[in-house]
Every structure is written in C-alpha cells, then in structure tokens.
Structure 1
C-alpha cells in the first residue's frame, strides 16, 4: 500500500535573516556568459504536465494567476507559537518559461540564442515588494546562501491558475528564486540560483552562440511595456501616497539600462515540485492528477511511490479523486 500523498515539508523552521536587495546599475551591453552553462546536465525531456498546461494557458489572456507566499510575523502577531508565518496571496502575470521568453517584436533588448528551455515558471516583480523579501525570508538554511545580495531565495510558494475555457485549475507548488543584477557574476546568490535553475534546464539543440543569465534578465525587462518599466523607478510600492519622494507613476522608460529601475527589477523563477491539475469539464466525472518531481532524488528506482502512479521521465503522475 502506497503512503498517503504529502504536502511540501514544514516551513516552520525556515525563517532566516531578511536580505534587503540593493540597487545595482544595469547595462544593455551583452555580458560575458556564465562559466557554468557548458557543464549543465539538463533533464532529458519536458515534464508530462507542460504540454496541456501550455495549451490551456493559450486561452488565458492575460495569463494571470494567484501567487501565495509565507509572511514571517513577530510571535505576538502569530495565531499560535507554532505558526511563525501567515499566508499572503496576490495576482501576478505569467511571463513564460525560464529560458524561452515569449516572442515580442517590441522588445528592444538583445536576446539569447534559443539554446535552452525549461519547465520553470517566471514572473516579474519589484524588489521593494513584500513577496520578494518573503521568498528570501522563508527559504531555510539549505536554500538561503546570500546575505544582502539581489539574487537568491528558495522560499516555498504556490501558483494557482484557473482556466475558464477548459474548466481546469492548475496549482504549481515549489520554490521561488529571485534573479537581479549581476546574474553572471560571482556573488553567492547568483551562483546558487544558477546551480538550482541549471539543473532543471534543457538544451534545445537549436541555435548557436553564447547564452547569458544577465542577458536573459534584461530581455524580461525589455519584454515589458515602457510604462511598466517606468514603474520600477516610481514610488515605493506600499508606502503612503504622501511619501512619494518626488516620484510618480505613469512614466515611460525606454532605457533598458536605467540604474534605478533595473536596481529594483527582479525576475522570479518558480521551480515546481508538485503540479496539481483538476479538470471540471464533465460535471458527473471530474478528474484530478498530481505530478510529483522525482528527478532530484538520490536513489532513482524508476518505480512509482503512489498507488496507481506512473513514472514519466523525471516525474511521477497519479490520478486522484477530485
């Protein structure tokens, strides 16, 4: 008899010292590629959930989802001594899979050659927003290796998509990693992020040339509208309106190397550990599947761990009662 399905491991011991991102001037000049790309041993095939997930999201315009994070709180504000965090949820925009940025003819940024793809979800955010610090602060000692740098993280998150056209709910559970300026550099956070994401990237067999992490982050910035880019140099999100410091919203930004905006801009990559899919198209027979990542396990037997489960590549899929 297979063991019952388990959620992600407890996060009650995962609180760490806050890492406050610092401003770093960016440039549109293509940086040197990171030295680690040539040594990657990427997954051989796409995740079994990727194709239906991508097909469903094609009908979701804009491709919005709800992102849930954990918010550390002082013990006097906690509902109990054993719960040092509270949930936080907000609506975000899916920006494509890491390594394969959606094409945009209006993107002025230099693009990487199409050498890599992945099953890692991306969205963009401002370093000054709460979700950024929450991703750092709940990472735990095994993930959090950066002290004061713009990149790092590893905090647990859940991304929930509801696709009305297909009557399907997708819940992606995993850990989130924050990518800021200096991703091709030698900072502890940048090295950690490159190592974690690199293990889940796949070579496409297409294109040629050099691939740069920093260039990929800049391309995400260029993929935003000029007004959205300008918001990263605007007033601090969540601050009182009277505390504007002479800044305002609605400013257009064409310069992809603007120091202030790029200092606040972050790409966040979600590394999935579980994907929960519920299909409600048939009222009398709804269906549900759970995909669990097995590729990172030290001992790979190729055998499913759940009753009725099936191993497909680096994932195990099992159908559940909805």
Structure 2
C-alpha cells in the first residue's frame, strides 16, 4: 500500500509499506480521508516526545470497513466509519472510571502505532464510529477535532447561559468555538493572529484582539467581572497563566493546550480561594464521537468549509509548507489516491 512515512524530524516520504493485518479484536479500515493536525506537525518537526521513527502518522481518520481479524465482528464490510485513535488498556484506574483518554498505558493511532496517512489502517473494533449518511468522507474526518471541542465544553460544563472566552483560534480553538455556539453559549475568541481571529469571527465568535491590553478589553466587555468560562487552546505557558486573571470569581478554566514535558505553569495561590475558581484539564476526548458526528451531520459545524483537500502524495510538500508557516492553511485533509 502507499503511505506517507515520517523517517526522522523534517523527513517524510511517500513509499510502499506492508498492508496491515488486523488481529483478533481489530478491524482493517480502507482510508478515505485523513486529517493533518498539530500533533502530526509536531512529529514532522521532532517536537512530539512520544513518537518513534519511522512512523505513519495521522489520527483523524475516516474510511470504510475492509476486513476483520479472527473471531471479530462489527459493522458490515463497506460501512463508512471514523476511528477514535485513543486506545486504553482497560485495566488501569483511569480506564476503570471511564477516562480511557488518560490511560496509564495509552496507545494512540498515528503516534504509537501506524496511522491513517496510508491506504489502510488497523484499530480495535470498539474504536469505530459509524458515519451518518449525510456526511462526506472529507467532512467525517473532522469528527476527531470536533470531539476534542465537545470534550472541552463538557469539562467546562458549557451551557446556553454562559459567556465563553477561547484563547487561541487555531484548529482546536475553532472546534471549541463551534461546539460552544451549538450549545447556545455566547463565544468570544482571541488570538495574536489577525487572520486567525477573522476566521473565528467567520465561524460566529466575537473577536477580541490578543496581546497587550487583553485583560483590560475583557474587563470592559464583562463590566469588570471577567469571563465565566475561559478555554485555553494555545499551548503557550503565558496564555495558560493569564487565564486566572481573565476568569470571573466562581468561574471555570479549561486547559486544552500542551506545553513541553516538565514545563511548569504558575498561578497566584491566593486566587484559588479568593476567586474559588475551578481549573480543569481536558485531554482529547472520551465517548464524544457520536455527538461530534451529530453536530457535523446537522450542519452546526462549518469548519470543514474552510479546510483544504490534498492528494496523499502531496503530503511531503504540505508538511514542508506548514513547517515554514503554520498559518499557511487553516486545515489540511489528505485523500488517498484510488
């Protein structure tokens, strides 16, 4: 089969690779659309601390059921599906309490095992989600990032009564914007990039200029109170630390961004009690794919309309382009050639 293979940082090539064989409990999926996310770009630039090379990346996968492993059954052959890429061990404490996204022995498709930048990929059958008939394969590939937005909004208990500030208007920030708006919340977004902020506005967020003076602008908007919910999706330590100033007393902070392993984040200790603020982490998603697919199918998510489609064979050029300028594309989705 054809695959885009990461050999080392800043090295990706198109090559023939062995067609994977599903084991017991697994399914073979013929890939129809494969989304490129920041995690894949981190593999390309050598910033992903978990990946080993060589590796076929991609964890945003839409396709059709091709075959099953021995003594394994699931949706009928030919059924259109998306793959939840987070595979829990099922035995550790997080898995036992339903948080397999935080599994102590976590395996991620496209990071720890071969992913979707190929003609075929294997995954546990329990990680399949059937795609609604109204969605194209291209649109279905957005289920994973939208599911991250669903998870973040669930963690922040976002409702139609909330005013919400999203820090960062990249791919995950935009997913949060749309999921929160679908819940009826009033959504503000901020970013250092005027272009990204404009995109967030196109998706229904109220833009707030980032950088110096952000706190003053938020206080003006909220009559000095601060935002009830602040969602951080930048991965920048200063933005994470500023959330405590931006949130109102009694409010909720949800951190979705990632910093380098070992990097500390500092909050003023008094504000934990003075504001009685709730600070939550949010990692990927758990049981959020059905809601994400439903939101996409009902037309409440417009993000796919601003994405770009490429043939899988263009992957080396696209990764080089994004490494030089991460804002060159809002989103890229690869389509394997027939």
TM-score (norm. length: structure 2): 0.23
Task: Report which structure shows greater RCO (CA 8 Å, sep ≥6).
Answer: 1
TM-score (norm. length: structure 1): 0.24
- Report which of the two has the higher share of helix: 2
